[in-house]
Amino acid sequence: MSKLTVSKNNIGVAGEFYIAYLLAKHNFKVNVSLGRTEGFDLFVQNPSGVNMIISIKTTFKETSRSFIMGKKADELAEDDLFYAFVRLNGLGGIPDFWIIPSKIVAPVIKEAHKIHVETAGKNGKMHKDTNMRLLRLHDHFKFPEDWAKQLEGFKGNINLLIDFKK
């Protein structure tokens, strides 16, 4: 029997539609950009009528412990921009997700990347500066000491978007 593989594009689409489904279920007005906008995937209005944008990062495996982001993310810190990090947990799993304001993501990944570039790797060589950033789902020396505890508050937290007011 052949092993089923899922394309990166379909993984991303699955994450977008999963979050769109959850928000629609909570009476949000949801517009999916389908890749036609740069920087965000969903334009939504919460039940109170407040508009916001959501950028979605999706991973497939249940063992995934981080999300790859671009360099722009460490500068994007807008009140109405949120990230939804979706871990699909394979073909049969129930997805996990974290809703995190960009005002929290930007400084955390910026500082983590700075520490990364200033730290030698396992081979003793300094890491090179790249356009990639990592948001980790676990405590790590490059992240705030209470990062795992912060993540607990963001996991599955649709109320962050329901209660959002500008």
Domain membership of residue 91 as a residue range: 8-162
Residue 61 lies in a domain: yes
Residue 104 lies in a domain: yes
- pLDDT of 1: 41
Contact 62, 47 (CB under 8 A): no
Contact 62, 93 (CB under 8 A): yes
Contact 127, 119 (CB under 8 A): yes
Q: Is residue 158 predicted with pLDDT exceeding 90?
A: yes
How does pLDDT run across 111-149, given as a tens digit for each residue?
A: 999 999 898 888 888 888 999 999 999 888 899 999 999
Residue 1 lies in a domain: no
- pLDDT of 4: 66
Strand partners, 67: 135
Residue 2 lies in a domain: no
Residue 31 lies in a domain: yes
CATH number at residue 94: 3.40.1350.10
Contact 41, 33 (CB under 8 A): yes
Return d(Cα 149, Cα 131) in angstroms, integer: 27
Residue 47 CA from chain centroid, whole number: 22
For the chain, the residue count is 166
- pLDDT of 71: 92
Residue 148 lies in a domain: yes
* Total domains present in the chain: 1
Residue 125 lies in a domain: yes
How does pLDDT run across 51-107, given as a tens digit for each residue?
A: 999 999 999 988 898 999 999 999 999 999 999 999 999 888 899 999 999 999 999
Residue 3 lies in a domain: no
Mean pLDDT (whole number) for 151-163: 95
Contact 20, 43 (CB under 8 A): no
